[in-house]
Structure 1
């Protein structure tokens, strides 16, 4: 069997297309690269959708936390505290069993017990909480002169937020938000290691890497392959967010532009 045949058989294996049975013996490097790469489809799916949807909730939560009205401020503060104060793995665990309980009482909630929806909701809420704290810090760092200038021009309410507050907040928060995006994609490896099961062996990249490590008793091939895929994904995120950061700071002199600094998150 050529490597192209392996790609044809297993390239979309994680989505349920192609060969149903996984290789049992005589594992090749091509098989491991293709199947782990196939699993990366789920990691990208979880990370991308959670990041895009979580961005809007994060902005709304940050604005709520910065608001003077305690009816808006307190729920935002508690939301951020709960999801930043508890480990992501535990959030997956409790969410899965909560969704299972809802499924038992109301069958309409059955899709929530599947990783494609249930785990996505957890990642969405988790990244929204972390990102909201980043955006809140940026909101508090907006120079008062910018706000005073907007008031002098007669801007207030939504117009001031759209033209002054929001762009400045993004410009200040974007380097830190880039690190959150990178860690979010890394955190997707917890999905199938937590409560959410991988049905019909339709797992993510770590699921397949663990499969090969268990079968071959040699973790020094599948896990470096997995790390290589995530390094490529991280480089893609850095380049994409770097271009956006450049666009956000296009009006500033080169020496004053905020630069993206990557920081390692040791614990979530």
Structure 2
């Protein structure tokens, strides 16, 4: 079988398109690259959707935590504390069994036991908590002169937040938020090892890398391939977030623009 035929058969297998059965013997390098790359579709899906939805929820949580009203501040503080204070692996584990228990109560919760929705919700809440803490710190760091200038112009409420507070918060938080986005994509590799089953062996990149490592007894081929895919994904994320960072700071002189500095988290 040629490599191109392998790509046609297994390139979209992770989402149910193409060859149904996994190769059982005579594993080629092309098969490993193709199937692990196929699994990356799930990692990108989890990361993009959780990050997009979590961005807006994190903004709301940060505003809630900064609110002087106790009924807004306390729920935001406890949500952030719980999801930042517990390991992501444990959150996946308890999330799956919570959805499994709810499924026994009502069939409407059946989709929540699948990784595409249940694991996505866990990732969404986790990244929202971490991002909210970043945005909260940025809110506290907004120069007082900016808000005083807005008050002097008679701006208040939504116009003041939209034109002064929110853009300044994003500019201050964006480098740290970029690192959170990178870690979130890396954290998607935990999905199928933490309770949520891979239906019909349609797992993510780490799922297929582990499959080849177990079958060939040689982890030094599939895992470097997996690492290469995540490095490429990280470069894409850095490029996109770097572009946004440039747009956020386009009004500043060149020597005053803050460049994104990557500080990878070794432990979550």
Sort the TM-score into its range (normalised by shorter chain).
Answer: over 0.9
SS at 1:55 equivalent: helix
Q: Is residue 235 of structure 1 aligned with residue 235 of structure 2?
A: yes
Aligned to 2:192: 192
Mapped to 2, the partners of 1:191 and 1:210 lie a distance apart of 13
* Alignment root-mean-square deviation, CA: 0.4
Aligned to 1:6: 6
Aligned to 2:183: 183
Q: Is residue 170 of structure 1 aligned with residue 173 of structure 2?
A: no
Instruction: Report runs of 4+ in structure 1 exceeding 2 Å deviation.
Output: none
Aligned to 1:44: 44
Mapped to 2, the partners of 1:98 and 1:238 lie a distance apart of 35
Q: Is residue 246 of structure 1 aligned with residue 246 of structure 2?
A: yes
Q: Is residue 100 of structure 1 aligned with residue 115 of structure 2?
A: no
1:92-171, aligned counterparts within 5 Å? 92-171=92-171
Mapped to 1, the partners of 2:76 and 2:194 lie a distance apart of 27
Please report how far the alpha carbon of residue 65 of structure 1 lies from its aligned counterpart in structure 2 after TM superposition: 0.4
Q: Is residue 207 of structure 1 aligned with residue 207 of structure 2?
A: yes
SS at 2:68 equivalent: coil
Aligned to 1:28: 28
Aligned to 2:261: 261
SS at 2:196 equivalent: coil
Mapped to 2, the partners of 1:214 and 1:203 lie a distance apart of 15
Mapped to 2, the partners of 1:48 and 1:101 lie a distance apart of 28
Mapped to 2, the partners of 1:267 and 1:130 lie a distance apart of 13
How many residue pairs get matched? 268
Mapped to 2, the partners of 1:217 and 1:21 lie a distance apart of 20
Please report how far the alpha carbon of residue 255 of structure 1 lies from its aligned counterpart in structure 2 after TM superposition: 1.2
Please report how far the alpha carbon of residue 266 of structure 1 lies from its aligned counterpart in structure 2 after TM superposition: 1.4
Mapped to 1, the partners of 2:6 and 2:31 lie a distance apart of 6
SS at 1:168 equivalent: helix
Please report how far the alpha carbon of residue 267 of structure 1 lies from its aligned counterpart in structure 2 after TM superposition: 1.2
Mapped to 2, the partners of 1:259 and 1:58 lie a distance apart of 23
Please report how far the alpha carbon of residue 222 of structure 1 lies from its aligned counterpart in structure 2 after TM superposition: 0.2
Mapped to 2, the partners of 1:169 and 1:259 lie a distance apart of 16
- Give TM-score scaled by structure 1 length: 1.00
Please report how far the alpha carbon of residue 256 of structure 1 lies from its aligned counterpart in structure 2 after TM superposition: 1.1
Which structure 1 segments of 5+ residues have no match?
none
Q: Is residue 82 of structure 1 aligned with residue 92 of structure 2?
A: no
Mapped to 1, the partners of 2:228 and 2:181 lie a distance apart of 18
Which structure 2 segments of 5+ residues have no match?
none
Please report how far the alpha carbon of residue 250 of structure 1 lies from its aligned counterpart in structure 2 after TM superposition: 0.2
Mapped to 2, the partners of 1:151 and 1:7 lie a distance apart of 60
